[in-house]
Amino acid sequence: MPRGHIMPLPQHVRLVEVGPRDGLQNEKQPISVADKVRLVDDLTAAGLEYIEVGSFVSPKWVPQMAGSAEVFAQIQQKPGVTYAALTPNLQGFEAAMLAGVQEVAVFAAASEAFSQKNINCSIAESLQRFVPLMDAAREQGVRVRGYVSCVLGCPYEGEVPAQQVAHVANQLFDMGCYEISLGDTIGTGTAGKTRALFETVGRDIPRDKLAGHFHDTYGQALANIYASLLEGIHVFDSSVAGLGGCPYAKGASGNVASEDVLYLLDGLGIHTGIELEALIQAGERICSVLGRDNGSRVARAWRSA
């Protein structure tokens, strides 16, 4: 497809709510299981169809996610909603299965340095580690989503060539991940680079199997989402109240706020099934628990209106 070609806007977009995982994983203060459960239940009530609830990673690496099994045990699961968890290896996958998790996600990086810092191994080793996990998931009929981090820049290596992202994404896809989410972990991407990235990765992977995961560090996430829509991407990860950051990417801010993405999509007449006011209230509640201001511009405007 020639650069500059604009795809028609979709009628429906799926938002993957990553607030309870990506949003909370970086919080240093203790957050009770009850507060995490309440957040997930509030998000379910707001109409999210996909919620990443937690992760089964080493508690030494990410202590905040240590209670994920308890969170899964206590949330009210609504039929039709997917409640997923991040799993870095077979050990994490098995723990997730014991906790009754329906769907998991694996995560690799497009940059070697970030792979080492985040999961303590090379990109190739991480992909090797996923093989037994993918085999177990296939046997048990569990769907696996794949993330690629640092797709528009790395905190340690700087520029990351789109071809390198495509190489990692293709391997995850070939391994059996049903969808590949491209993560701008440090939020340095711009709309032009976002389009070029999806154009490159979309040569081998169908666009309806790709998703965008934008952190908002440079305030470009909404522009990048709009650019992605023009490239035919219809799934976006976002975090209520713009919570979060990555523990292994210094200075990375939270994901784009779900409320702000919803406002954008509502304005374009794109259906998501999510109710804005309920979502704003879910964000307001968790922000008061954390004692911090709401990172969603829409929520702040709504509050002062």
147 touches, from ligand HMG, Mg ion, none (C-beta below 5 to 8 Å by class): ligand HMG
From 150, 154, 246, 287, active-site residue: 246
88 touches, from ligand HMG, Mg ion, none (C-beta below 5 to 8 Å by class): ligand HMG
Residues that bind ligand HMG (CB under 6 A): 22, 25, 55-58, 61-62, 86, 88-89, 91-92, 95, 107, 118-120, 147, 149, 183, 185, 213, 215, 246-248
Helix 90-98, helix 123-140: angle, nearest 10 = 30
Q: Is 17 in the site for Mg ion (CB under 5 A)?
A: no
Q: At 283, list the tokens.
A: 């964000």
Are 189 and 150 within 8 A, CB to CB? no
The rounded distance, in Å, linking the Cα atoms of 174 and 193 is 25
Residues 6+ away with beta carbon under 8 Å from 224:
184, 189, 190, 191, 194, 212, 214
3 state DSSP class of 215? strand
Residues 6+ away with beta carbon under 8 Å from 169:
146, 148, 180, 182, 201, 204, 205, 210
Residue placing its CB nearer to ligand HMG in the complex, 109 or 276: 109
Q: Is the C-alpha dihedral spanning 280, 283, 288, 289 positive or negative?
A: positive
Q: How far is the CB of 120 from ligand HMG (least distance, A)?
A: 4
Q: How far is the CB of 289 from ligand HMG (least distance, A)?
A: 21
16, 17, 20, 22: which one binds Mg ion (CB under 5 A): 22
Residue placing its CB nearer to ligand HMG in the complex, 57 or 229: 57
User: Is 121 among the residues known to form the active site?
Assistant: no
The rounded distance, in Å, linking the Cα atoms of 61 and 162 is 29
Residue placing its CB nearer to Mg ion in the complex, 97 or 165: 165
Residue placing its CB nearer to Mg ion in the complex, 229 or 252: 252
Q: How far is the CB of 185 from ligand HMG (least distance, A)?
A: 3
Q: How far is the CB of 152 from ligand HMG (least distance, A)?
A: 10
Q: How far is the CB of 140 from Mg ion (least distance, A)?
A: 26
The rounded distance, in Å, linking the Cα atoms of 210 and 218 is 23
Catalytic positions, written as ranges? 246
| Contacting residues toward Mg ion, per CB under 5 A | 22
